[in-house]
Structure 1
């Protein structure tokens, strides 16, 4: 199928783009990478009156270190995340997870902002942003606001964005010292069936702190296993702790049945992959400490 007719605008500034969004009163879409938008148009699942191309707006593809925070413009493409030395240094979990996204063609065009707005429940970029505690900065004709990822989604493929708001950047806080990621899919770089991202740090007594466990593919949107993380905070993350955390994570999940897997199978996978990711997290920390110089 072909996309329905639409009016094409090429915005030269953020102000022009949000003004156009406001004029179309919710019946226009932002075009950046187009990796999700164009297929939706071609299948006629979306029928906007206009597309607003933001590819020539300066600054939306910038990567900036601002103190402990790292700010990625909404138009930063996946291949930039994959190869940027700055992102690898400051957001290593993001660099790790981006290699699971699609193929090289998709990573050449796809953008971090587009992925977050699309809100695929199995998407790696929404899961990474949620696990790392990121915020999304959005702009409209009324001004700007920052939305934590924990409040960004209100359902499957649905965000809290107003029709006249546009994502301009994603703000990541200081990255935890230890992290791990596991994903299961039916074919290499296919959509994930279940994915788990974990991060945390250890205090001087060997107790884990600020543990975060992000889960993808097990609800209408990526979610945090808050009960499991609370269990692990202050613990030494023993095998028993990890097993209990995996069980708690499963009780919070509500996985769907679809063409890739049943909800029951997803719960089975989730238990296994939470245990695997936490085991890798603990192993990474142990390795780092074993390499530390002895005073």
Structure 2
């Protein structure tokens, strides 16, 4: 018998969304699907074949699906509202969101696909704005308020029809307003758009951690850092890895300290991000990983031997 979640998986791709399997009765990606943004699919044949094996829950990759989902949660049994929410009498994410709409002079944007979650919260589905790459937010610190999370690029939600059984709550995800996802209102797009980071300093070698460099080392470091900072958008990682590899060989020869190379290349990669606002920025973690990989390869590579330009002829001896 085909599990009921198979039909829910097919229904999800009917909206044009890209999905991936979650553990049965759980919310975590199935083993082997941890890189779920890359593994998510809208291929009905693959989905039908896969979902016949077990009642996997359905995860929707929000970024590839061009979705922004606002998650209005309910408090845990021992959770008390913060002072501002308590002052306004708000006891759950939906009430906090309604108050936010009132303060902004905006109507509550409820005319959209709405899913009730297993603990009585709501997922409001919206189509993502064009030319703006929104990321996830959480609560008051990075988002819209207490018990309000958002899922966009880098996030996923549990699809309607899934059933979750966990200690903090058991239940199904059910559509309670069956409407097409509405465009995300402009005021919410503005509220969720992160402020641009300050432009990195153009001096890539300024105030490097306490080392005096030889003229040769400084010239090599500046040349590679400038190449990374000026790399075309589509080749930023390649340029960064190559620079780290080249400089890693100088680290092995003790021409440059590893910490100095890492600092200079990190600054260069951040400047490359800033020069290409049309592209998703490389995160600090991604930058650090590329630099570390290139340095490691360069530091363990066999040094290249230079042939003498005018080697003396070998004597012919009988």
TM-score normalised by structure 2 residue count: 0.23
TM-score normalised by structure 1 residue count: 0.25
Higher percent of residues as strand: 1
Structure of larger gyration radius:
2
